[in-house]
Amino acid sequence: MKIAVAHKWAPNPEEAVVAADGSVDLSRAKSSVSEYDPVAIELGRALADATGAELVGVTAGGPDAGSPMARKAALSRGLDRLVVVADPALAGARATATARALAAAVRAEGDVDVVLTGDSSVDEGAHLVPAVLAGYLGWPLLTEVTAVAADGGTLRVEQTAGSGSRVLEVTGPAVLAASTDAVLPRVPGMKDILGAGKKPVDELPAPEALPDGLAVVGRSRPALADRRRVRIDATDPQAAAAELVAALRVDGVL
């Protein structure tokens, strides 16, 4: 059995700088393994330990995705091996191009039984890559996954469903997107970081003719809404609440 975990080396949007024209500059933002991907890695590690499988990390992005720092950051979290697609054509790539590159890397492995992903990436947060990746692979997708186990050739997947949960049996390869709180990911120690430098890394080229089709044609800041600045003065809390509700109804809020 072989398990792949798709993850992203992404800049922290909290460190972004917004220019006067509304454009976002992430050049000074520090990058790391995207916030929710360590959850997927931890789920994969537990499944690999239980089945004796190999756990392979798969990542795609610009040249920085293949940097020594990016490699060690991912491998130190429990991956056995890493497959990197680092190409200038993927710098700033959106969901479709990223998913296609990830799918090509998974196919290159040849015998992957399941691909785990995070819920979304910290920089884009579009929740699209797992679905597009599954589409390129032709595999089923399950989201909000909280646990996964193997029973022979069948995967038993626990998934959040509404206010409860359900357990599904999956036969054949599948893409599983982990819930953000499925498990508590480990924090790599110094031994993990040093050991990461000795783990194997394979580099693959980006697929040709990466899809894009999107171009920014304009930017603008949102219009500032007028504030009425209405103040309700009342010594009786119930009267104040009633006056507030009445005012909100007049404005169409309630």
3-state secondary structure of 130: helix
| Strand-pair category, 81-86 with 201-203 | parallel
The domain segmentation of the chain, as residue ranges, is 2-203, 224-253
pLDDT of residue 223: 76
- Whether the CB-CB separation of 187 and 39 falls below 8 Å is answered with no
Q: What is the mean pLDDT of residues 168-190?
A: 93
Which of 148-152, 206-210, 220-224, 241-245 shows the lowest mean pLDDT across its residues? 220-224
Q: For residues 53 and 5, give the distance between their C-alpha atoms in angstroms, rounded to a whole number.
A: 13
For the entire predicted model, the pTM comes to 0.81
Confidence of residue 213 (pLDDT cuts 50, 70, 90): low
Which residues are bridge partners to 4 per DSSP?
Answer: 56, 115
Q: What is the mean pLDDT of residues 200-211?
A: 86
Tens of pLDDT, residues 149-160: 998 889 999 999
Percent helix, strand and coil across the chain, each to the nearest 5: 30, 25, 40
Name the residue with higher pLDDT: 111 or 231.
111
pLDDT at 147 over 90: yes
Q: For residues 54 and 217, give the distance between their C-alpha atoms in angstroms, rounded to a whole number.
A: 45
- Of 110, 44, 39, 34, whose CA–CA distance to 79 is shortest? 44
Tens of pLDDT, residues 69-108: 999 999 999 999 999 999 998 888 888 999 999 999 999 9
| CATH number for region 2-203 | 3.40.50.620
pLDDT of residue 11: 87
66-to-8, 86, 126, 127 alpha-carbon distances in Å: 11, 5, 23, 23
- Of 91, 126, 111, 79, whose CA–CA distance to 9 is shortest? 91
Classify the C-alpha dihedral 129-28-14-178 as positive or negative: positive
3-state secondary structure of 121: coil
Mean pLDDT of the chain: 89
16 backbone dihedrals φ, ψ, rounded to 5°: -75, 155
DSSP 170-223: EES-EEEEEPTTSS-PPPP-HHHHHHHTTS-EEE-PPPSS-----------PPP
